[in-house]
Structure 1
Amino acid sequence: MKGWKLLFLLVVGGALGGRIPLAAQEGSDLLSSYTRNFLKSSSSTRIELVQSALADPRLASQVGPFCDFVLSFSLQYSDLLRDDPEQIALTTLVAQRIGDTGYVQAVQTLWRVFIVYRDTKVRVAILSSLAKLGRGDSRIIENLNQFLTNQNNLFRSGMDVDYEILSASIAALGTLGDGSSFPVLFSTMMTAYPEEYKKQAVQALGMIKGDYKKYLIDVIKKNPPLEKLAALNIAQERPSFVPADLGEIAEAALEVALSLYPVDPEEQRAVQDLRYRSVQIIRDNRWSRASTLVLKHFYQVQGDYAKKPEEKAHFLDAIACLGVMGSSEAASALSLHLGLINSTMERTGQFDREVLEAIINALGELGDKVAFDYLLYVGYLPYPADIKTLARNAMNRLRW
């Protein structure tokens, strides 16, 4: 028996690679004593020893390294011990306590134990401590972000998730308050979890400080279509955003929407709505920096309207948006369409009043002389008098 214990001590001491010498180097005879006794103890007495160590006021300054030592033991022998109730209780105890020590050197050990131990209490305790020790640690925050993302994806695929662990993950990311967690928590808020967890995600989002414009743009760029649309809608409701903020967010949304061609019908509708809504916001805030994207959208809607007259409302929005872009390219595109309307009128005597009026008004707003010949020709065709007057007024606004 003595020979077995000695062999066990040598094996464990070597496997933990430097944990005990490090404690000794720190000059703590008491810490060294506790770690030696821990290795000598049986599984049934180990937790009592740890409880005594944690309650010993003489060890107060070394509780962090001691807990890290015990966690390393749990990790090293996880294949044998991770399903053992006594080891689970021990690991939960030190994982919870280490968060109060400020011993940030333990965060990677905590994360590795989190990956290996699947017990709910262990994982919740680790997440609680990571929330206290992981602030500013990009690697830990990235790992937590990815874990919560995976939980969201599992739930959406129809699999069950552990709600205690889910809740602790949300709370940890909220407490850490890193901006990189915003898209993940936003996605959690949009997932069809029970209402209490969605509310918790909203609260966690509120704990993240920083550039909300950037955070919403990140969601629009990275998250699924329905979440992109939700982010754009939320941006409109944020009272602190000035027109330039809304314009920049809508520009990002339009750029993303124009590049997406989803197969899923629900996502198709979300992308279309994202495109139409972003154009309205760009128009309302006169965000001319998006001119190239608005022009691309105009040509797309122009084609849609040619095939589906019911798309007229979106076409009218696109025309109005081009009218506030202030670019020669916008004026050229609208002038060419006016030329097409004039040609149709000349051949058939038919025209769409709403579209014609929208284009004339937009050209007047742009004031680009490229429109002169097209507006002038309106007066030579058998349009109603009010249309001709509208065209003359637009001509008077052109800049030479």
Structure 2
Amino acid sequence: QKAFVSSSIQDKVSILKKQIAMAEKDLPLLDMALDFCLTNASILSDSTHLHDLLFVSLYALPQDNLEPYDSALKKLFFLYNKEEIRVEILNLLTKIAINEAFFTENLYNFLFEEIEKDYSRRSNKSIFASLQYLSSIQDLAFFNKIYPLLSKNIDFELKKNIEEVLALSIENYKSDLLERISTTTAQEKKLILSILGRNPHLNLFFKAEVTENLLRATIISIGDNTGAERESLLKEFYEVQMESVRIIKEAKWTRAASLVAGYFPIAVEQYTAFLISKDELLEVMDSLTLLATSETGKALSDYLAVLNKKTEKTGLFDEEIMLHLISALAQLGEKTAFDNLLYVILHEGYPDSIISASKEALAKLNW
């Protein structure tokens, strides 16, 4: 230790490296090295030799007992602006994961300032390490502070990193997320779905609850609007609505059955407007069948009535849609479909395939 005190910075690095190679670390010597880096930062913060000493010191820290160094590491972060040093410090702090208000607030400020920089001057590595640390401490403000960054003009890599970090911690911020859903734009709703998709290990029921709220918000937004405004909203929301229905179906989230039933007439409108494909319309029908409530059955039965009226008026029908719809009603045993199925059998314009399917469906109705 005496040799360390009296030596040059280069020699200090050599002494510390030799000590690291030993089986048992000299922690007092390591403390002296960190203190030296702290004390001389204001004078020599640009010194490559001091950077080397700090790097070696950080590398030498006992990985199984980092907590005693939390305070020193947080001071060092703002004393040295070299990217590699800051990233390494944040990686160590992430392992400690202690939320200290002053440092946390200053790190948010650092993060926001860094993101505002031009791409050529921005340190994406420091940004990502900051995000990882802030996520690790489960700061209560994390979601509400970080989510709005996705709406900024940022590059794809940074956007992806932010989404991935949010996805890993999103279950801790459910109330913040659900609160935002009702006020977000269509594009922001897509962002929420994108975040959910970044974490393959995310709880499926959590995803279903979020998408239930997304679907509800979009249905409310469309509401009773008519004309050009309605057309615009149908176009804005169809992607969010279809993906929400898929997740609800995957989770068998019966709590959202009435919502999916409420969305079905909207899906029909979107199909008519060529916003969703026939296969996607059939997907929504399958979701209604799987969720299997009186509301979903009635939604399908009502659609059969609509198609019957169209056939009567124009003589036109889509055989695939008719057969899929009748099969769904048969699976549900939906008794409210009796009159509509009977109409199919008695109408002369339908082919034998549709009439036979209707007869089979009638036989399966629950009375």
Q: Structure 1 length normalisation: TM-score?
A: 0.57
Deviations 1:318-373 (A, max 9, x none): 11211111111111212222221222223333322222222222222222322223
Residue 332 of structure 2 is matched in structure 1 by 366
Based on CA coordinates, which of the two structures has the bigger radius of gyration? 1
How far did residue 46 of structure 1 move? 6.5
| Residue 257 (structure 2) pairs with residue 291 (structure 1) | yes
Matches within 5 A, 1:104-253: 104-127=67-90, 129-130=92-93, 134-138=95-99, 158-162=119-123, 169=129, 225=190, 228-229=193-194, 232=197, 235=200, 249=207, 252-253=210-211
1: CA distance, partners of 2:243 / 2:356 = 32
SS of equivalent residue, structure 1 residue 118: coil
2: CA distance, partners of 1:158 / 1:257 = 36
Residue 308 of structure 1 is matched in structure 2 by 274
Deviations 1:54-80 (A, max 9, x none): 959999343465455445435xx63x5
How far did residue 230 of structure 1 move? 8.0
1: CA distance, partners of 2:15 / 2:272 = 81
| Residue 349 (structure 2) pairs with residue 386 (structure 1) | no
Matches within 5 A, 1:300-379: 300-308=266-274, 311-379=277-345
| Residue 364 (structure 2) pairs with residue 397 (structure 1) | yes
Higher relative contact order at CA 8 Å, sep ≥6: structure 1 or structure 2?
2
Deviations 1:4-59 (A, max 9, x none): xxxxxxxxxxxxxxxxxxxxxxxxxx9xx99xx97xx8xx9577578768959999
SS of equivalent residue, structure 2 residue 278: helix
Label 1:225 to 1:350 Cα distance change in 2 as closer, same or farther (>3 A). closer
Q: Quick one: which amino acid aligns to residue 301 of structure 1?
A: A
Deviations 1:68-115 (A, max 9, x none): 5445435xx63x543355554554444443455834132233123213
Identity %: 21
Please list every run of 5 or more consecutive structure 1 residues that lacks an aligned counterpart in the other structure.
Answer: 1-29, 206-210, 262-267
Q: Quick one: which amino acid aligns to residue 321 of structure 2?
A: V
Contact 2:345 2:358 in 1 (8 A): yes
Residue 229 of structure 2 is matched in structure 1 by none
SS of equivalent residue, structure 2 residue 291: coil
2: CA distance, partners of 1:269 / 1:112 = 51
1: CA distance, partners of 2:196 / 2:275 = 30
Q: After superposing the two structures, state which structure 1 stretch, 140-149 or 376-385, moved more.
A: 140-149
2: CA distance, partners of 1:62 / 1:322 = 68
Contact 2:254 2:291 in 1 (8 A): yes
1: CA distance, partners of 2:45 / 2:208 = 50
1: CA distance, partners of 2:46 / 2:189 = 38
Label 1:49 to 1:386 Cα distance change in 2 as closer, same or farther (>3 A). closer
SS of equivalent residue, structure 1 residue 379: helix
2: CA distance, partners of 1:100 / 1:285 = 41
1: CA distance, partners of 2:327 / 2:88 = 64
Contact 2:77 2:86 in 1 (8 A): yes
Label 1:144 to 1:392 Cα distance change in 2 as closer, same or farther (>3 A). farther
Q: Quick one: which amino acid aligns to residue 384 of structure 1?
A: P
How far did residue 289 of structure 1 move? 3.9
Contact 2:326 2:357 in 1 (8 A): yes
SS of equivalent residue, structure 1 residue 323: helix
Q: Quick one: which amino acid aligns to residue 396 of structure 1?
A: A
How far did residue 270 of structure 1 move? 11
Q: Quick one: which amino acid aligns to residue 242 of structure 2?
A: Y
Contact 1:71 1:94 in 2 (8 A): no
2: CA distance, partners of 1:304 / 1:269 = 8
Label 1:121 to 1:257 Cα distance change in 2 as closer, same or farther (>3 A). same
2: CA distance, partners of 1:125 / 1:300 = 52
Label 1:85 to 1:307 Cα distance change in 2 as closer, same or farther (>3 A). closer
SS of equivalent residue, structure 2 residue 290: coil
1: CA distance, partners of 2:241 / 2:276 = 17
2: CA distance, partners of 1:118 / 1:160 = 13
Label 1:293 to 1:212 Cα distance change in 2 as closer, same or farther (>3 A). farther
Please list every run of 5 or more consecutive structure 2 residues that lacks an aligned counterpart in the other structure.
Answer: 181-187, 222-233
Contact 1:65 1:103 in 2 (8 A): no
1: CA distance, partners of 2:69 / 2:109 = 19
Contact 1:335 1:371 in 2 (8 A): yes
2: CA distance, partners of 1:285 / 1:180 = 27
Count, aligned residues: 321
